Amino acid sequence: MTDDHGAFVPGGRVSRGPTGSGALDGLRFAVKDLIDVEGVVTSGGNPDWAASQQPARADAPAVRALRAAGASLVGKTVTDELAFSLEGENHHHGTPRNPRAPGRLPGGSSSGSAVAVAAGLADVALGTDTGGSVRVPASFCGVFGFRPTHGRVPLDGVVPFAPSFDTVGWFAATGEVLQRAGRVLLGSTGPAASPLRLVRLDDALAAADPGSRTRLVPLARALGALDGFDVFEGDRASWLRAYQVLQGAEIRETLGGWIAERRPRFGPSIAPRFHGLAGISAAEVDTWRAWRAAQVHRLHALFPADRPTAWVLPSAPGAALRRTASPDDRGRFYDVALALGAIAGHAGLPQVSLPLATSDGLPIGLSVIGPPGSDEALLALAAGLDTDHP
C-alpha cells in the first residue's frame, strides 16, 4: 500500500472523476477539508464541527472548475482545526509527515494539501490562505504555492474563517502545473501577462533566520531584484498586532456563535487561541481597521503605474519547524510569519511561493507579491522558473 504520509483525512479516501475535458486532463488533485465536495461532510479538521454539518450539497466552485477542466479528485486532505494554525498539526486527525523534511512539521493550515503534492500523491492541491496557510506549508514542504488576489477565486463552499483575509489557494510540484491550474481557477482567457520588475523587501528578508537570509538575499538579486526598500518602515510589530486583532475579530464573528452553542473539543494548542478571542475590544478593532486602511492605501501606491512591479520576500521565517519545537521557538516563528503573511493579507495582494532554495538541506521558499490582479503575471513567473529545484 502506498504511504500517504498522513496527508488525507482518515476514514477512507474520497474520489471523483472529471466532469469535462480541458487544460487539466489526466491530472490528479486533492482538496483541503475546509472546501466542499458534493456528498461529503466538510469536517474542518474538528470532529464536533463535522458532527454539526450535513454532507455538502454541491462542489465548491474551485473543485467544480478543476473537475470540469479534466482533473480527477483523489482525496480530501488534513487541515489544522478550522484553519487556526500555521504549524500543520491536528490533534484529532494526526499531523501529516513532511516528505521533504523528515522530523519537521509540514506547515499549516493547508498541511495535508502541501504534503500530498510534495509526496507525489496529487499534481495539484487546493488549500486556503488567510495569514499564510498556503505560503508557509509550500515553503516547509518545498513545493510551489499560490495565494490569489482577494476575491479572484470564489469562497462559496468554503468554511469561513476571517473573510476579509480568506482566499482559496493551491499547490503544485512544478510552476507549469501551478500556472495551468491557476488559469482554470482564475478563469484566465487573455494573452500572456507582461514580465514583472522585481524589487526586494529588505526588512522582510532581514526578518528571516540567518541561514535562510544567506540563501534568499543572493537568490533575490540573481532573479533581478537589484533594488529594495523597507516595507514595515521600522514597525513590524504593528503589522503583526493589526493582523491578530482584525483576524481574531472576524473569527469571533464567523465562528463564535457555533463555539458558544456547541462547546467543541479543540486540541490543546488550538483551544487557547479560540478562548483568547474574547479579549479583543471594539476600540482595538476600530484602531487597527483605520491603520489597515492607511497601510493598504500606502502599499497600493508603492506599485508604479508605468511598469509592472512585484516584491520579493521570504515565504516563511525559515525552514520547517521541528516537530519537537519548544513553545518559545513556535512563538518566535509566529511573530515573524504572521507579519510576513500580513503584507499580502492586509492589502489583498496575490503572492506566489517558489521552492528555489534550501538551508541545511531543508526547503525554504522565496515569495513574490504583485499588485492587485497581477495573478497571471506571478503564475507566468513561476512557470518561467520551472527548472530543477531542491
- In the residue annotation, 76 being an active-site residue is answered as no
Please tell me whether residue 130 adopts helix, strand or coil conformation.
coil
Q: Are 170 and 117 in contact (CB under 8 A)?
A: no
Cell numbers found for residue 268:
490543546
Residue 157's CB: how many other CB atoms inside 10 A?
21
Cell numbers found for residue 381:
513567473
Of 46, 208, 206, 228, give the one whose Cα is nearest residue 136: 208
| Burial label, 363 (beta-carbon count in 10 A; 0-12, 13-18, 19+) | buried
Cell numbers found for residue 7:
496527508
Say which of 85, 109, 111, 359 is annotated catalytic.
109
Residue 371's CB: how many other CB atoms inside 10 A?
22
Rg (CA), the chain: 19
Say which of 32, 43, 72, 212 is annotated catalytic.
32
240: part of which helix (H) or strand (E)? helix 236-262
- In the residue annotation, 32 being an active-site residue is answered as yes
Query: Can the peptide bond before residue 109 be classed as cis, meaning omega within 30 degrees of 0?
Result: yes
In whole angstroms, give the CA distance from residue 343 to residue 356. 21
Q: Are 337 and 345 in contact (CB under 8 A)?
A: no
Type of residue at 153? V
Q: In terms of residues, how long is the chain?
A: 390
Say which of 43, 72, 113, 133 is annotated catalytic.
133
Instruction: Look up residue 159 and give its DSSP letter.
Output: -
In whole angstroms, give the CA distance from residue 317 to residue 276. 24
In whole angstroms, give the CA distance from residue 65 to residue 88. 27
Instruction: Look up residue 104 and give its DSSP letter.
Output: B
Phi-psi map region of 173: left, alpha, beta (phi>0 left; psi -120 to 50 alpha): alpha
Type of residue at 253? E
The residue with cell 531543508 is 362
Q: Using DSSP bridges, classify how beta strands 197-201 and 309-314 pair: parallel, antiparallel or unpaired.
A: parallel
Catalytic machinery residues: 32, 109, 133
